[in-house]
Amino acid sequence: MEKKVNVPNALTAVRLLLAPVVFLLVIFGYNVLALISFIAAAITDILDGWSARRYGHTSEFGAKFDPLADKGLMFAAFLSLAVTGIVPWWFFWVVVCRDFLILLAAIIFLGGTSVKKFPPRPLGKISTLFQVFTVAAWILQHIFSSPVLTVAAEDVLRVSVIFTLWSAIDYAKQGLKMYNHKEG
């Protein structure tokens, strides 16, 4: 029987709650607290995935809300960073458009085809990892404002853009494969 209250679900719930906290902390300029909250939220993602796999604590709640918590956290972080001018708006739109297209494809495949799973892709996970590094690097650069941190933050952002776009292409290719397989 599926246990609704377990460690992974609790960690997912914490991440869901931390997303608006990170947003507000960045908006109001509490960047040290924002960075700590963001890192804590990112750690909950690592721990809930590990715990779910290690101890078999998978659930319908986790399957639905873990990706929502991940996307909510990243959306809140990048939106607040863009609104405050810490990261460029174009980067926010690259991330949001990729995620929107993936979500749309998942809805179409899960709702309109016999496909019942649209699992994360390895490049998607790498993209998310670099997006996490990007948030942390830009907040850190904003806190300490040093030339070295500025260059590092810009470099991480460039790598993040590459992986974000590359993963979008990878998801599109996978979606087409799934569609063609369904048709054939």
Q: Where are the domains positioned within the chain?
A: 7-183
- What pLDDT does residue 178 have? 74
Rounded-to-10 torsion of CA 148, 151, 36, 27: 120
Instruction: Read off the tokens for 21.
Output: 């906290």
**Domain 7-183 is classified in which CATH homologous superfamily?**
CDP-alcohol phosphotransferase transmembrane (TM) domain (1.20.120.1760)
- What pLDDT does residue 4 have? 67
- What pLDDT does residue 1 have? 38
Instruction: Read off the tokens for 141.
Output: 């650069």
Residues of the chain falling short of pLDDT 50: 1
Report which residue type is found at 128: T
- What pLDDT does residue 53 have? 80
Contacts of 119 (CB under 8 A, 6+ apart): none
